[in-house]
Amino acid sequence: MPFDRKTLVFPDSTRFEEYEIVTDGDVVVSDDVSLGFGIRTKERIFIGERAQIRGNLNADKDIMIDSFSKIGGDVESSGNVYLGEKVLIDGKLYVKGDLDVGNDVEIRKGFEAKGLISIRSPIPLIIYIFIYIAHLLKLGKSEEVERIMQELEQESNPIPVSKKFVFIPSGATIGTDSSKTPYSMKIGCNCKVVGNFDTGGDIKIGEDSLVYGSLSGSTIFVGSRAEIHGNISASGAVTLGENSKVIGNIYADVVFMPRSAVVEGTIMAKKGVVFSRVKEKEIKEKLKRFNAGVDVADEVGKLME
């Protein structure tokens, strides 16, 4: 799955439980995100700057929390924990590995750490780079400076995430009642997702997934055997997969609907509803392109007879 830094991603088998989002891949929460759930994963958790997490963080591996973020519950890691400047943890911190703590960090209910503890007053990385480059220039090593600058330009993702990951883009709000993201959203297969999602782009729901809430976006694709317990609203096309089910109303420009799909509500489509059998082989090819980051929303209608 491509990592475009904009699309809200919940990968295969992600589960929204009562108080937390459960997954088995890395979780990346960008800057200025408001998340109304805790997080539980078998991998790592990365939290950006000024994020608000209203729950616990639990990871089998490392947890990294950037500056000025607030965690509304406990933080527990079987790996290492890195806390940036002015991070606030309302609960308790449990660390089986090393703990690296920035300036003015507050942990209100105390902490337990079995590894090394480092307390620092961090200087931003860019300052270190500037000092190092200035020193090289004084020594007349302009070739070394050029090499460093080229490496910095080429390095687009210094911390590689796992192939399977949750990604919440900058500025998104995820809650039990209302969720909003400025761009597109992808939900994988066999997921259970809770919330009403208002997006500024396309929405794709994978096969056998359950969504308890309404969906709003540009174009919306609902995979085979997926269920939506809420209304669907799209400025463009809504496409339903084989044996999918919508318990709610659909509002769209046009609706493509195979005969095996079920809608327990009203369908309002300006350009009508197309009832037909899906060409399985062709639609799978289109979905591969969709997952690879190719926008095929305008082509979906051509797959229906």
pLDDT at 282 over 80: no
* pLDDT (mean) for 266-289: 73
* Reported pTM: 0.79
**Three-class DSSP category at 188:** coil
Q: Which has the higher per-residue pLDDT, 32 or 117?
A: 32
Q: Say how far apart CA 23 and CA 37 lie, in whole Å.
A: 13
Q: Which sign does the torsion angle of CA 6, 11, 14, 20 carry? A: negative
- Asked which of 161-165, 175-179, 215-219 is least confident by mean pLDDT, the reply is 161-165
The pLDDT score that the predictor gives to residue 304 is 45
pLDDT at 37 over 50: yes
pLDDT at 128 over 80: no
* pLDDT (mean) for 120-147: 62
The pLDDT score that the predictor gives to residue 305 is 44
- Asked which of 40-54, 101-115, 159-173 is least confident by mean pLDDT, the reply is 159-173
pLDDT at 297 over 50: no
How do strand 20-23 and strand 15-16 relate by DSSP bridges?
antiparallel
Do 205 and 185 meet the contact criterion of CB atoms below 8 Å apart?
A: no
Q: Say how far apart CA 282 and CA 107 lie, in whole Å.
A: 54
* pLDDT (mean) for 254-275: 93
The pLDDT score that the predictor gives to residue 162 is 67
* pLDDT (mean) for 178-187: 94
Domain spans, the chain = 8-119, 125-154, 184-303
Give pLDDT tens digits for 187-207: 999 999 999 999 999 999 999
